[in-house]
C-alpha cells in the first residue's frame, strides 16, 4: 500500500489535489470512503481534537485501518488541528498517517519553536508520519458563522513560509491565502463564495517547496479551487459543507419516515446527502467534473495510470 507522502507526490505530478474530509461519525466516514471508492481516487479522512474525543482516537484509527486493509484502498487518516503535544503523541501512537500541529494562534516565533518540537517528537514515534504546520490566521470553527471576520491582514507571506518550513522541518504547510474556517449564512445559501489569493499560493509554493494544504475549503469558489491546485495546493480540507449536508440528510430521513426508529433506515439519507457533497468536491479536485457518473471509474483509472507512470 502506498504511503501518504507518495500519494501527495503523485497527485502533484498529475496536477490534482487530495480531498481531506472531516468525520465525526460512521455516517460521514461511510459517505467519504464510498465516494472515494466510487471515483477511485485517494482520500484523507480528518479528525480534529473534538472529533477524536467524540469517536475515540484508537477507534477511528481502527476503522480507517480496516477500510484500507479490507479494500486495499488508499484512505489515510489525519489528526487535524492538534493544539498540544500530548494529543499529537496519542494520535501518532494510534497509527495516524499525519498530524496537523496547529500552534498558529501563537506569535510566529513561538509557533515555529513548538512546531519544530512536535516534528521531532512525532517522527521519533513514526518516521513515516507527515507533520503539517500552520501559519497565518484563518479563523476557527467548521460551523455556520453569523459574521465573517476580516482576516486579510493575517495572510501568509512567502518569506514567512520559507523561514517556517526551514526552521521546523514540517512536511506540509498550511498557509492563509484568503481561506477561512466555516461558512457564513450567505455561503450556505450559495449567495457568496470564499475567494483565494492565487498569486500568493504560487509564491508560497515556490518559497516553501513542500506540499501545501488549503484549510477552510467549504464555500470556496470552484474556479479559485482549480487555480489554487494548479498553483500548488496538494490537499484541500472540507468540513462545514459536510456538516450542513449531514444535518439536511438526517432531517430528510426523519421527515420521510414519521415514526421510524430503525437507525439503518433513517441514516442512509444522511450518508447520501453527505456523499453528494464529497463526490462533487472529489470530482473537482481530481479533474473528473466532465465525466458522467458511470464513466468516472474509467476516467479515474486513467488519472491513476498517469500518476503511476509519472
Q: Specify the residue, 100 or 165, whose C-beta has the smaller distance to ligand G3H.
A: 100
In angstroms, what CA-CA distances link 44 with 20, 77, 191, 208?
4, 6, 29, 22
Q: Which is nearer to Zn ion, 116 or 181 (CB)?
A: 181
E strands in the chain:
18-22, 43-47, 75-82, 98-101, 130-134, 144-145, 172-174, 183-184, 212-214, 233-238
| Per-residue contact flags (x/-) with Zn ion for residues 236 to 275, judged by CB under 5 A | -x--------------------------------------
- When asked if residue 20 is in the footprint of Zn ion (CB under 5 A), the reply is no
Q: What DSSP designation does 154 have?
A: G
Given a contact cutoff of 8 angstroms between Cβ atoms, the answer to whether 22 and 48 are in contact is yes
With contacts defined by CB under 6 A, name the span among 37-45, 64-72, 111-119, 213-221 that binds ligand G3H: 213-221
C-alpha separations of 132 from 40, 86, 101, 186, 309 in Å: 25, 16, 6, 31, 27
**Which residue numbers are catalytic?**
80
Give the dihedral sign, CA 100/237/203/232. positive
Rule CB under 6 A: is residue 240 a binding residue for ligand G3H? Answer: yes
Q: Which of residues 8-37 bind ligand G3H (CB under 6 A)?
A: 22
Q: Would you say 12 or 237 has its CB closer to Zn ion?
A: 237
182 binds ligand G3H (CB under 6 A): yes
For ligand G3H, the closer of residues 24 and 142 by Cβ is 142
Cell of 271: 450518508
Binding mask 216-235 for ligand G3H (x = CB under 6 A): xxx-----------------
- Ranges within 35-54 binding ligand G3H (CB under 6 A): 46
The residue ranges that bind ligand G3H (CB under 6 A) are: 22, 46, 80-81, 142, 181-182, 215-218, 237-240
The residue ranges that bind Zn ion (CB under 5 A) are: 215, 237
Amino acid at each position: 500500500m502506498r504511503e501518504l507522502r507518495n500519494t501527495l507526490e503523485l497527485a502533484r505530478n498529475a496536477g490534482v489535489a487530495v480531498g481531506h474530509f472531516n468525520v465525526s461519525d460512521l455516517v460521514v466516514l461511510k459517505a467519504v470512503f464510498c465516494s472515494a471508492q466510487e471515483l477511485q481516487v485517494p482520500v484523507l479522512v480528518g479528525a480534529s481534537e473534538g472529533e477524536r474525543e467524540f469517536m475515540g482516537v484508537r477507534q477511528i484509527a481502527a476503522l480507517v485501518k480496516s477500510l484500507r486493509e479490507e479494500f486495499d484502498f488508499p484512505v489515510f487518516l489525519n489528526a487535524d488541528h492538534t493544539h498540544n503535544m500530548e494529543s499529537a503523541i496519542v494520535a501518532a501512537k494510534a497509527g495516524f498517517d499525519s498530524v496537523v500541529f496547529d500552534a498558529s494562534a501563537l506569535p510566529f516565533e513561538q509557533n515555529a519553536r513548538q512546531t519544530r518540537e512536535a516534528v521531532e517528537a512525532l517522527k521519533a514515534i513514526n518516521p513515516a508520519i507527515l507533520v503539517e504546520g500552520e501559519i497565518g490566521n484563518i479563523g476557527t470553527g467548521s460551523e455556520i458563522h453569523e459574521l465573517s471576520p476580516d482576516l486579510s491582514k493575517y495572510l501568509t507571506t512567502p518569506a514567512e513560509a520559507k523561514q517556517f518550513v526551514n526552521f521546523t522541518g514540517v512536511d506540509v504547510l498550511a498557509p492563509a491565502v484568503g481561506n477561512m474556517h466555516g461558512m457564513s449564512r450567505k455561503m450556505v445559501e450559495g449567495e457568496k463564495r470564499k475567494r483565494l489569493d492565487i498569486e500568493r499560493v504560487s509564491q508560497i509554493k515556490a518559497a516553501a517547496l513542500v506540499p501545501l494544504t488549503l484549510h477552510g475549503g467549504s464555500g470556496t469558489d470552484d474556479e479559485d479551487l482549480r487555480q489554487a491546485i494548479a498553483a500548488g495546493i496538494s490537499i484541500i480540507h472540507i468540513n462545514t459543507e459536510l456538516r450542513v449536508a449531514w444535518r439536511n440528510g438526517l432531517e430528510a430521513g426523519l421527515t420521510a419516515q414519521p415514526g421510524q426508529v430503525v437507525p439503518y433506515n433513517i441514516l442512509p439519507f444522511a450518508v447520501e446527502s453527505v456523499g453528494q457533497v464529497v463526490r462533487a468536491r472529489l470530482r473537482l479536485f481530481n479533474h473528473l467534473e466532465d465525466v458522467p457518473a458511470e464513466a468516472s471509474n474509467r476516467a479515474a483509472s486513467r488519472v491513476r495510470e498517469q500518476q503511476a507512470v509519472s
